[in-house]
């Protein structure tokens, strides 16, 4: 939420959401006025003097129940259809292209253009340049929603939907799965980070590359442990032997803001807690707990992963 204290749907940050915020205000104010009119009519009916009977007749029904709504609704419908057309009809010359898959219960993010690489649970886009994001799922239905940037759009098996995100200001935007997808649906969150173009270019260069090799001995120990424990069976760390695709890509996990699909701040403490017992932090998550690790092993593993920037 911004300093104005308005909720994200009303305090938007891009052209795919701004007109909807305006529309929302029109609807809220208009609806409020109509409610007031009806309450006044009801108040007169209940408390008015005998004079009120003059108005009571079919004429009132026809004016209040037919004429007035017809005029208002015709206006609204035209407004709404025009807005729909505007929001889905924009043509982009040089979009960023991303593919996001809804998983149970996290987000697989594949950057297609300008460079091709994989990440998870965080989508980074350049400020001022549209991103076209293809939304898909090969399991159950999810829905992709970043209220400050756009309305939501579902991810449905067998179908690819495309959403356009355009952030006008740098920032971190909250996103969530909005379609019930079973289990810990409540904890399937993500963030969209909009970076200024120069930062974005730097980010792409680093993020598209392979993982950083471990820099200290404890980290190296952790890297080995990562292999022996079989973490690579589910997770990919590019540049190593870990090629698993069932779970989130961890090549640059340390550069992300959150863990567990947008639910925990990313630091050594939460990372350790997550590895030791993810079920406690996110019941139903498909990652097994590694509670048998010794404190040192856990520290090694965390040090390694914390270095994957």
Partner 1 sequence: MARRSLPTLAKWAVLLGGPLIWSAHLGFVYAVATVAITLTGEAGLVSRVLIGLATLVCLAATAWIGWSLWAGRLPRWETPQRDLIGLWRKAGALLCLLSFLAVLWQGLPAILIPQQPASHDDLFGGTAPPGPRSR
Partner 2 sequence: MTEEEAAFHAAAKNLPDPRPRPEEELKILEEVWRQPTGWRLPTAVNNNIVGSAYVGAALLFFVLAGCLALLMRSQLATPMAEIVGQETYNQLFTMHGTVMMFLFAVPAVEAMGVLLLPQMLAARDLPFPRLSAFAFWAYLVGGLVFFTTIFFGASPDGGWFMYPPLTSYVYSPGSNADWWLLGIGFIEISAIAGAIEIVVGVLKTRSPGMSLDKLPLFGWAMLVFAGMIIVGFPAIILGTILLELERAFHWPFFVAEKGGDPLLWQHLFWFFGHPEVYIIFIPAAGFMSMIVPVVARARLVGYRLVVAALVATGFISFGLWVHHMFTTGLPPISTGFFSAASMAVSIPAGIQVFAWIATIMAGERARWNVPTLFTVGFLIIFTMGGLTGVMVAMVPFDWQAHDTYFVVAHLHYVLIGGMVFPLFAAIYYWVPMVSRFALSERLGKWVFWLMFTGMHLTFLPMHWTGFAGMPRRVYTYLPNMGFDGFNLLSSIGAFTIGAGVALFVFDMARKFRMTQEENAGNVYGGGTLEWLPNGSYAARSIPIVKSREPLWDNPELGDQVEQGQWFLPGAPTHRRETIVTSPLKAIPQYLVIIPGPSWWHVIAAAFTAALFLSLTVKLTLPAALFGVIAIGAMLRWAWELDKGPDHEPVDVGGGLKLPVYMLGNRSHAIWAVWVLIVVIGMIFACMVFSYLYLWSVQPDRWPPAGTTLPSPLHTGTTLLLLAASGGLLTVADWMLTRARGKAIVLTPFLGALMFLILAIAGDIWQWSATGLRPGESSYGASVFTLGFLNSLNLFTVALMVLFVTARLLVGRTDPVRRLSFDTTRLLWLYTIGQTAVSVVFAHGFPRLVS
Which residues between 177 and 216 bind partner 2 (CB under 8 A)? 177-187, 189
Residue 303 beta carbon to partner 2: minimum distance, rounded to whole angstroms: 27
Give 243 or 280: the residue with its C-beta nearer to partner 1.
243
Q: Is 71 in the site for partner 2 (CB under 8 A)?
A: no
Residue 204 beta carbon to partner 2: minimum distance, rounded to whole angstroms: 28
Give 190 or 304: the residue with its C-beta nearer to partner 2.
190
Q: Where does residue 121 fall: left (phi above 0), alpha (psi -120 to 50 degrees), or beta otherwise?
A: left
Q: Is 99 in the site for partner 1 (CB under 8 A)?
A: yes
Q: Which of residues 109-168 bind partner 2 (CB under 8 A)?
A: 135, 139-141, 143, 145, 147, 150-154, 156-159, 161
Only one of the segments 17-25, 69-77, 165-173, 206-214 lies at the binding site for partner 1 (rule: CB under 8 A); that segment is 69-77
Q: Is 142 in the site for partner 1 (CB under 8 A)?
A: no
Bridge partner list, 193: 124, 172
Give dist(CA 277, CA 110) in Å, integer: 28
Give 176 or 308: the residue with its C-beta nearer to partner 2.
176
Give 95 or 262: the residue with its C-beta nearer to partner 1.
95
Checking DSSP bridges between strand 131-137 and strand 96-102, what pairing results, if any? Answer: parallel
160 Cβ contact list (under 8 Å, min separation 6): 134, 135, 136
Give 235 or 272: the residue with its C-beta nearer to partner 1.
235
Query: CA nearest 107: which of 96, 121, 93, 117?
Result: 121
Give dist(CA 165, CA 149) in Å, integer: 6
Give every strand in the sheet of 142-145, ordered side by side. 122-126, 189-195, 171-177, 142-145, 153-155
Give every strand in the sheet of 96-102, ordered side by side. 117-120, 107-113, 96-102, 131-137, 161-165
Only one of the segments 50-58, 195-203, 209-217, 243-251 lies at the binding site for partner 2 (rule: CB under 8 A); that segment is 50-58
Q: Which residues bind partner 1 (CB under 8 A)?
A: 66, 70, 73-74, 77-78, 81-82, 84-85, 88-92, 97, 99, 101, 108, 110, 112, 116, 118, 134, 136, 138, 158-162, 245
């Amino acid at each position: 939420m911004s300093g104005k204290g308005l909720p994200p749907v009303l305090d938007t940050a891009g052209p795919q959401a701004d007109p909807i915020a305006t529309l929302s205000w029109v609807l809220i104010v208009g609806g409020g006025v109509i409610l007031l009119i009806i309450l006044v009519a009801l108040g007169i009916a209940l408390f008015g003097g005998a004079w009120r009977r003059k108005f009571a007749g079919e004429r009132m029904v026809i004016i209040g129940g037919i004429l007035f709504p017809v005029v208002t609704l015709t206006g609204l419908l035209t407004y709404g259809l025009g807005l729909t057309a505007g929001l889905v009809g924009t043509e982009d010359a040089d979009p960023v292209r991303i593919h996001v898959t809804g998983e149970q219960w996290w987000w697989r993010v594949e950057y297609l253009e300008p460079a091709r690489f994989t990440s998870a649970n965080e989508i980074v886009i350049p400020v001022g340049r549209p991103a076209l994001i293809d939304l898909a799922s090969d399991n159950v239905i999810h829905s992709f929603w970043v209220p400050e940037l756009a309305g939501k759009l579902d991810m449905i098996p067998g179908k690819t939907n495309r959403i356009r995100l355009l952030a006008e200001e740098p920032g971190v935007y909250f996103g969530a799965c909005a379609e019930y997808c079973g289990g810990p649906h409540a904890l399937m969150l993500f963030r969209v980070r909009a970076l200024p173009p120069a930062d974005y270019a730097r980010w792409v260069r680093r993020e598209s590359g392979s993982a950083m090799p471990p820099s200290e001995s404890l980290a190296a120990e952790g890297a080995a442990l990562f292999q022996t424990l079989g973490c690579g069976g589910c997770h990919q760390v590019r540049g190593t032997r870990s090629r698993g695709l069932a779970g989130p890509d961890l090549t640059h996990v340390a550069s992300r803001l959150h863990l567990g699909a947008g639910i925990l701040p990313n630091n050594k403490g939460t990372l350790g807690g997550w590895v030791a017992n993810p079920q406690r932090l996110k019941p139903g998550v498909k990652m097994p707990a590694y509670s048998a690790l010794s404190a040192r092993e856990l520290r090694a593993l965390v040090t390694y992963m914390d270095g994957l920037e």
